[in-house]
Structure 1
């Protein structure tokens, strides 16, 4: 069942100390600003919920995991303030995931583009299917994945980030993403994926919550400056989206 709501949907289910966040949007599970804001707040809420030991992040349907930020909103940007606010959407989510005291498992069932790659990179452990190819196509429209780059680079390294961003029209398959460290494991189909996500989440939820929290802190050590950095990057993207090049490129997609 996939949502038809224009602003998308976000639900959290609780079971055995596991919180499962499921997001959805009719446009390939992309994110309008309102949905990004809801997701960031949800991570902040779960971070202080003592009944939750681990979080699973998933999206609706069997096709795309996430097509990034809302294209309609991107096309509508006409001033720097709106541009910065738009690109701050993923910055705020990534920072909320980084700050979150709970470990986050990403369940990736299909293709990921743009900001969605940042979302996967900000998870602590990602399980995916063979269909979960990734692409960062931002340079083709005159902007770049500046906001999500620190999260992506943290997982795949500078060389992996360069491959993804500079070869902006090519998909990298799930095994490339696994080899680079974005995915921990890759499965043939969604049934296998869901079985393994459940097993992993249940194992983690059975461990000492304090140990999990300390592990989370250790994994993200040295990223404290991201609070400021990602918002600065959002401003960079906000400026670029107003450029003549980008306006002309976006016109072709309308």
Structure 2
């Protein structure tokens, strides 16, 4: 039987994080928020905790990380919470949300396979970069739009740069209004494989996950360490990056940009 950890009892309609387990050792973590999977702080905390706990479970051999819904994998952090930041401490806490999730992926002893069914923006691109092997559909376009409001992708930057290199990361960051296709992300190494349909992607994910679950667990754990070699300082680095964004979000430029965006939405 599959087991489900339901963080919210109304998980079909409300924000949730769930973890499902199979006897073969395949654990699937799913997160969801009705606002295009834009993640508020409480949901990011639940996600990082679930990744940590699932990875430490001896029964887990491989993790599949995915989001609910069809159109958007993750639209980044909650804009409403961003707009409500009043001081540096609140800014640090806010921008530490994705930092904690990325570090949870990095430190997890289990190999993590990503499932990106739709577009990824900001922190969503960071999540795609933080998994060990990432599948996507042709609809999984990406964008780092942080400069448009006067900050930058400081927290997710190390994970993205590690996957696609400084040149592609610079292009993605500086062309903040540009949406890059899934094919571009595949070419640069963010996505390992891209499929025309979600069904085809899911079939490939299932095949790889079953293969990984059948391999020597110790070998996979040692490979995970090799993959992430040289990142032991990220606990400090990502906190420092979060502090940078936490200061910038209080600037006159960013406050004005946020007001303009809220007026457009209104």
TM > 0.5 fold call: yes
Higher relative contact order (CA 8 A, sep 6+): 1
Match of 2:165, SS state, is: helix
When the two structures are superposed, what TM-score results if normalisation uses the length of structure 2? 0.93
- In the alignment, the residues of structure 2 paired with residue 187 and residue 230 of structure 1 have an alpha-carbon distance, to the nearest angstrom, of 32
When the two structures are superposed, what TM-score results if normalisation uses the length of structure 1? 0.98
CA RMSD of aligned residues (A): 1.1
Unaligned runs of 5+ in 1: none
Which whole-Å deviations, capped at 9, do the CAs of 1:38-96 have from their partners, x for residues lacking one?
11111111222110000000111111000000011000001000000000001111011
Structure 1 outlier segments of 4+, above 3 Å: none
Structure 2 residue 157 is the aligned partner of structure 1 residue 149:
yes
- In the alignment, the residues of structure 2 paired with residue 107 and residue 93 of structure 1 have an alpha-carbon distance, to the nearest angstrom, of 16
How many residues align? The count is 252
Partner of 2:110: 102
- In the alignment, the residues of structure 2 paired with residue 192 and residue 43 of structure 1 have an alpha-carbon distance, to the nearest angstrom, of 25
Match of 1:13 among 20, 36, 43: 20
Partner of 2:261: 253
Match of 1:112, SS state, is: strand
Partner of 1:25: 33
Partner of 1:4: 13
Which whole-Å deviations, capped at 9, do the CAs of 1:192-247 have from their partners, x for residues lacking one?
01111111100000101000000000000000000000000000000000000000
Match of 1:65, SS state, is: strand
- In the alignment, the residues of structure 1 paired with residue 78 and residue 94 of structure 2 have an alpha-carbon distance, to the nearest angstrom, of 9
Which whole-Å deviations, capped at 9, do the CAs of 1:159-215 have from their partners, x for residues lacking one?
011110000001110111011000000000101011111111000001010000000
Match of 2:244 among 201, 221, 236: 236
Unaligned runs of 5+ in 2: 1-10
Give 1:3 deviation, angstroms.
4.3
Which whole-Å deviations, capped at 9, do the CAs of 1:145-172 have from their partners, x for residues lacking one?
0000000000010001111000000111
Structure 2 residue 93 is the aligned partner of structure 1 residue 90:
no
Partner of 1:168: 176
- In the alignment, the residues of structure 2 paired with residue 44 and residue 155 of structure 1 have an alpha-carbon distance, to the nearest angstrom, of 22
